[in-house]
Amino acid sequence: MTDPGQMLLALDFDGTLAPIVEDPESAYIHPTSLAALRRLGPVLGAIVIITGRPVDQVRRLGRFEEGPGLEHLVVFGQYGAERWDAATGQVRRPTRPQGVSDLAECLPAWLEEHGASRIRVEDKGLAIALHTRGVAPGLLDELRPQIEALAEEVGLHVEPGRQVMELRASGSDKGQALRHAIEPTQPHVVMYAGDDLGDLPAFEEGLALRADGVDVTLVCSASAEQDALVPLADVVLDGPDAVATWLSELADSLVPV
Ligand SMILES: O=P(O)(O)OC[C@H]1O[C@H](O[C@H]2O[C@H](CO)[C@@H](O)[C@H](O)[C@H]2O)[C@H](O)[C@@H](O)[C@@H]1O
């Protein structure tokens, strides 16, 4: 069996470690996943979270610092633009792009003008997310051409997700984040789990690593909402509950009792 010290476990947050809920502020990590990660932390070569969330938010919702085991966790936030290293406490947080400030200024009037004031706005500093869960399902798809035009006007691009569209600067994605994550340890085994379109670049990076001889397992946290990762996945699990069971079984198999 491969030495667990040669393994890297990379995980998306929303829809994979945390169940999808209406309010993004209360999407806490699944307790069983957290318990499994605390057991795996001391034995695996590396555990990284690669998320669209800001690092500060995912640190709070992930409860990683409320107990032992994850002292070496690294979180790549905002699709890799931000990075937090638990071991050093260092945070890389770029300044807010001008386009995001411009967007924040014109967005309330734009939403009003497009009959879309029900859309919930999440300002993430480096990006602005437009959410319709629970308020206006389908509205983002209807307005997609107009949202793309707005993004272009302020020099941003659209990152679509599960009942969300984020307007953010180009220059980072989860594939690049995964590449950066493996650099320090050059693991022989890489496991990546995700659920949404934003995870596709990481899956593609996983396939490239596999072609280079790395033992890669791609895990899809499946939902009725998004199936884009299914054809590329080695393992398809039924959402965050099943991911929690998978992580517990991984811990049972790798961590000495
Ligand atoms: O890369 P991720 O960790 O998956 O983050 C992607 C976005 O997830 C969040 O939105 C999603 O989860 C919400 C809470 O469950 C849900 O209400 C929403 O419909 C989902 O799209 C988050 O709010 C975004 O900022 C993240 O970028």
- Among protein residues, the one with the nearest Cα to ligand 1's atom 20 is 162
Residue-level pLDDT at 101: 98
ipTM, 2 decimals? 0.99
The answer regarding whether domain 4-93+172-254 maps to CATH 3.40.50.1000 reads: yes
Ligand 1 pocket test, candidate residues 164, 168, 225, 243, most atoms within 8 A of CB: 164
Q: Which tens digits make up the pLDDT trace of 51-72?
A: 999 999 999 999 999 999 999 9
Distance 5 CA to ligand 1 centre (A): 31
Ligand 1 pocket test, candidate residues 11, 12, 13, 14, most atoms within 8 A of CB: 14
Quick check: pTM over 0.90? yes
The strand order across the sheet containing 127-131 reads 120-123, 127-131, 164-168, 157-161
Distance 90 CA to ligand 1 centre (A): 24
Q: Which tens digits make up the pLDDT trace of 125-179?
A: 999 999 999 999 899 999 999 999 999 999 999 999 999 999 999 999 999 999 9
Where are the chain's structural domains?
4-93+172-254, 98-168
Residue-level pLDDT at 227: 95
Q: Look at domain 98-168 and name its CATH class.
A: alpha beta
Residues at CB less than 6 angstroms from ligand 1: 12-15, 20-22, 24, 27, 51-53, 122, 124, 129, 131, 133, 161-164, 166, 196, 198
